[in-house]
Amino acid sequence: MSGENINPYDDICSQLKICTTQLGMNPGIHEILISPKVIHTVSLPLEMDNGEIKVFTGYRVQHNDARGPYKGGIRYHHEVSMDEVKALAMAMTWKCAVINIPYGGAKGGIVCDTKELSIGEKEHLTRRYTAAISQFIGPYRDVPAPDMYTDAQTMAWIMDTYSVMQGYSVPEVVTGKPIELGGSEGRTEATGRGTAICLRECARSLNMTLKDATVVVQGFGNVGVHAAMTLSSMGCRIIGLSDSRGGIFNTEGLDPSKVLGHKIETGSVLGYPGSEELTNEETLELECDFLVPAALGHQIHEKNAGNIKARVIVEGANGPTTTEADEILSRNGVFLVPDILANSGGVMVSYLEWVQNINRQHWSLTDVNQQLESKLVTAYKNVWDMKEKMDLNMRGAALSMGVSRVANAIQQLGLFP
C-alpha cells in the first residue's frame, strides 16, 4: 500500500504551517512562502514514430527566488501532477536554504510514461518542452537538472535546444549534463553519496557504529544504488534492497555492485541468487538499524508507519514520509533525517557544476567530493544544533532553518513596488 491518496502539496503546506507557527512568523511572510511565485503549464503536441499525434502536458513551477535563481529537477512520469510539482518546488526552496547555496526552488515535469517512448520520441518531447519554457529558464533565472526518468542525455538535449535558441553555447543553463558538455565529476552519484554521508553523520551523533550496521534501501535506482554502494564501502551490511517489482533480503548481507549487475541483466533485483524475495511493503518493514527510502514519495504513511522496525530513517527520496507518519514514527522513537537535508547532495554538486560552467572550469572528482563532504557535514551539524536549541525533531529543525533563511531574505529584499 502506498500513500497515493495523499495530496503532496497539502502535506508540505501542513509542514510549513507547523513550522511558521513555531517560529512565530509574520502571517504575511507565511502567505508569500506558501504560494509559488510562478506556475507554467505547457501543452506539448508530438508526432509519434507511427505518425500519430499525441499531446502531452508539461509543468514548470518556480516557487521562490529570494535567495537566488530557481533550481530544481525535471521528472518524466505518468503520475506527475501539478500538486506534486508544486510540493517538490517548495521542498527545493527549503533544501537549497538548508545546504546554504544561493538558489531558490523550482521543479518541472512532463506527464508521460518513458517506457512507452522511443529514444527519438523522448528527445523530441524534451526539445518541445524546452522550447515551450525557454523564455522562463536561464543561467541566472532558472537552472533545471535531472530527476525521475531523466538523465544526463536529457539535460544535453535541453542545453542544445536552449543554446540553439540563444545563438551560442550555454552549458550553465542546466546541470547534470554529460562530462563532455561541461558536466561535473561526481554529479551522477552525488545524491546517493550525500545520503550516505548524512547517514554516517547521524550515526556519529547517535553514537552508533557503522561497522556491520544493518541497512535496508528501498528503491534501487540512481539514488539507492549509490547510497548502497557508498554505505557498503563504509562497512555497513546491506540486508535489503528493492525496486518497483519487489524486494530482496539476506541477513548476511547483499553486495550492491553484484545486485546492480543482476538488475542490469534481468531488469530487476528479484531473483538475485541467495536472497529471499519480499514485497516492497515488507522491505520497508524489515528490522534494521537504518532504513533508506529512495523511491517514490509517500511510501511511509499512517497505515504502515507503525510497522517500521528501523532505528533510524534517512530519506534519500523526496517526500517519502507523510506528516501523519512523522508523528507516528516520532512516538515510536524512530530517529529520522529528512529529505531536505539527507538528499541535498545532488543539488550541492549541481551548484558546483553551475559555478564551474560560469567560470569555464573543470574540477577533479577529489575537489568536488571534498566540497560535497564539507558542505554536508556543516549542514548536518547546523540542523542538529537547531534541533537541540529548539527542542525539535530533525525535520522540524531542518525546516525551521530553511524557512527562516528564506523568510529573512524576503524581509531584507522588501516588496516591490
Active-site residue list: 107
- Cα 322 to the chain's mean position, in Å? 15
Q: What cell does 10 get? A: 497539502
Cα 145 to Cα 157, 281, 319: the distances in Å are 12, 30, 18
Residue 390, phi-psi category: left (phi > 0), alpha (psi -120 to 50), beta (remainder): alpha
Q: Which amino acid is at 375?
A: K
Q: What cell does 297 get? A: 514519495
Beta bridge partners of 104: 70
- Distance (Å, rounded) from C-alpha 79 to C-alpha 351? 28
- Distance (Å, rounded) from C-alpha 359 to C-alpha 353? 10
The CA-to-CA distance between both ends of the chain, in Å, stands at: 49
**Number of alpha carbons in the 13 Å side-chain half-sphere of residue 327:** 7
Q: What cell does 216 get? A: 535496508
- Distance (Å, rounded) from C-alpha 377 to C-alpha 293? 21
Specify the long-range contacts of residues 151-156, CB closer than 8 Å, at least 24 apart.
Answer: 151/176, 152/176, 152/177, 152/178, 152/183, 152/188, 153/178, 154/74, 154/76, 154/122, 154/126, 155/183, 156/181
Of the candidates 28, 379, 325, the residue with the CA atom closest to the CA atom of residue 197:
379
Calculate helix-pair angle for 82-98, 8-23, nearest 10 degrees. 40
